[in-house]
Amino acid sequence: MQNLTAPALAEWLADNARHAPVLLDVREPWEITTAQIAGSISIPMRDIPARSEELDDDAEIVCICHHGARSANVAMFLESRGFTKVFNLQGGIDAWSRQVDASVPLY
């Protein structure tokens, strides 16, 4: 698992020459309703073991949560399942809101 800062993710998403990653948001549904990064898909952390087969194991996947702890655990789990291009958004959606997109609400 590699850690990725919010500004680095923003640069990646803005780079049209690079394929966009899968933004895997592992927070609870109420958290997604409160704040999210556009284009992310939602699979709550508790559902990842049963639903990891929905993810392309060749894709670059950026795991996202509130502050980065749950997403780090999910990234490690995905790696244990054979995923090789997994990133953790350091500081989570909170860092995204503070460092990249202030229109995404803090909570």
Q: So which residues are the catalytic ones?
A: 65
CB atoms within 10 A of CB 39: 10
How far is the C-alpha of 2 from the C-alpha of 84, rounded, in Å? Answer: 10
Phi, psi of 56 (to 5 degrees): -80, 115
Interhelix angle 6-14/92-99, nearest 10 degrees: 70
Measuring CA to CA, which residue among 19, 2, 9, 1 is closest to residue 96? 9
List, in sequence order, every beta strand (DSSP E) within the chain: 2-4, 22-25, 41-42, 61-64, 86-89
